[in-house]
Structure 1
């Protein structure tokens, strides 16, 4: 019988549950050997959910790195820890799946890639939409020429009064790298880059707003994941971002909001082509608009959409076993990190910037 792959979870907060579910779905050939968290109770909880009698709970991930039997690691930590912890794991000879965003900025993401290449290890990023069946179907339509030339893309990632963990690391720029863009927008930008085969950004013009929670105690909210609020904390990131990106392919415009004073959620991407257009509902199905035999046609996609987190974890374990770079590899995600850097630079400087 083949030896099981041994996995470790570093960080046992909310998102680690999706990773744990993924590993549990392939328990026939993967064991979670370690659960690591600064809060011991959280590590013990994940062990109870996803581990076994042999699973070890730790508060210091560096103890796990000394175990040569660990093959793969999921890094599920706050953004400011992504680069240093991932690089430590790669240097210790582990394959890594690091949650999104890859890092706080493009420079950190590049250092992670360099560590993966130097050590000959796989580094995937948690760009889970690349494993979503709806996204895969849209990519197939676009790359097969079904929309003609795609010349304009618009995406919206907006919600009503839902700033996460106000006052905590999500809203502290030194720990998160940013707000709505780096938290939600990263998924939309990466999805678009995947569907369009990574067009290169040329210029960026963007504006960020940090208004609604400027007085944290006065901020009223509908929901707050990763909460509750810490009113003695920091709020110095954007809850709203808007911009225009010119690429060597289509132009992209976007609006994103953790919080806005419009009580609606708008989560979608529109691809405009010369032969047709697609509106993709985030995480779900799409509608194709085109003409056929002199008639206007609107077709809604109809297929099952399996759990993309399970597909992501399975693909990671398989890619690590083969030593093969796949769609979620750091190499394919760098352009998204670079683009977010330029969005923040444009907003900070109050002008359009050229991407070098």
Structure 2
């Protein structure tokens, strides 16, 4: 893989946990990691010590040294770093979501439309082997027409570090919906074939994160209490698409119920259930050939590193017409759905994504 990816000098913007996660996989892929950028001195020092590369406080200095960047900053800062990279015609892999607001995401899209570099959004769950297998069977027609996806990404107690950027709306743009829901919505739309969205209805809730007695059991980062928590910690939504294809969505950082990461993909000829984190996969069919019967099949797949496979697809796409990683149009559809769910919750009614008048 060195020969294949060697010429693409790559840097990381945002050197926190997810930045280092991406950096480790770049090293494993033999992509030349040549630098990193972060506004925090301690993050730069830690990154330089770990990878032995140059680090920068100013992203323009990093951009002078690279051909591609992976952007992993808090959502509010995606626009600044992505637009500047696109205007330099760098290749950009931007962690989800596109931005913290729909308006900011639209400005990134405008820059991407004028850019020569490859630009992709980091929806890594598309690369889970169970998802790949289901998508392959759908494309082969084995599931018939896909009509509905039940999407669950629910933690029992998993609010990210309270007081971090994740729990401050000004920086994140939202809570569990924009953090976990963005993955669940993309995956559901991906398996449906990204049909046109006609309407969304949803409710977002904040029931746990702002409580003094929140049971903070285990999650990354320290718990700094409820003082800086002003986002949703769960959301329930329904998305209606063209052809009466639908998505039911449940996402949560915290709930009083067992955690679940189960997706159910319903088709006219077969259905599938898989666990997004564990990769377990079952396929359900019924038949009238011979005695009427139902058939449940357990499918074993190899465990895979979805971020590594996502990166490999991104670098494969550079200089080609391949669209193995989510493009900006798909990501903007997800952003509009999320914006629509938030507006639906505020207004108490159904809205049309992307239509500010509803």
TM-score by length of 2: 0.91
Equivalent residue, structure 1, for 2:32: 31
The one of 254, 275, 284 equivalent to 2:249 is 254
The one of 233, 237, 259 equivalent to 1:239 is 233
Matching of residue 140 in structure 1 with residue 136 in structure 2: yes
Give secondary structure in 1 for the equivalent of 2:171: helix
Give secondary structure in 1 for the equivalent of 2:32: strand
Equivalent residue, structure 2, for 1:85: 81
Distance 2:104 2:205 in 1: 25
Matching of residue 282 in structure 1 with residue 249 in structure 2: no
Equivalent residue, structure 1, for 2:315: 317
In the superposition, relative to structure 1, how do residues 123 and 233 fare at CA in structure 2: closer, same or farther (>3 Å)?
farther
Structure 1 unaligned regions, length at least 5: none
RMSD: 1.9
CA contact (8 A) 2:159 2:233 kept: yes
1:236-277: per-residue Cα shift (whole Å, max 9, x none)? 111110011111141111111100122x21111111222222
Structural mapping, 1:175-186, within 5 Å: 175-186=171-182
Distance 1:58 1:323 in 2: 32
CA contact (8 A) 1:22 1:311 kept: no
Higher relative contact order (CA 8 A, sep 6+): 1
Equivalent residue, structure 1, for 2:42: 41
Give secondary structure in 1 for the equivalent of 2:297: strand
Equivalent residue, structure 2, for 1:4: 7
1:150-174: per-residue Cα shift (whole Å, max 9, x none)? 2222111111121101122111111
Equivalent residue, structure 2, for 1:17: 20
* 1:42 shift after superposition: 2.3
Distance 1:232 1:39 in 2: 24
In the superposition, relative to structure 1, how do residues 324 and 48 fare at CA in structure 2: closer, same or farther (>3 Å)?
farther
CA contact (8 A) 1:208 1:241 kept: yes
CA contact (8 A) 1:179 1:237 kept: yes
Structure 2 unaligned regions, length at least 5: none
Distance 2:172 2:327 in 1: 22
Equivalent residue, structure 1, for 2:111: 115
Give secondary structure in 1 for the equivalent of 2:55: strand
Equivalent residue, structure 1, for 2:295: 297
Give secondary structure in 1 for the equivalent of 2:199: strand
Aligned residues: 346
Distance 1:178 1:110 in 2: 17
Distance 1:162 1:132 in 2: 22
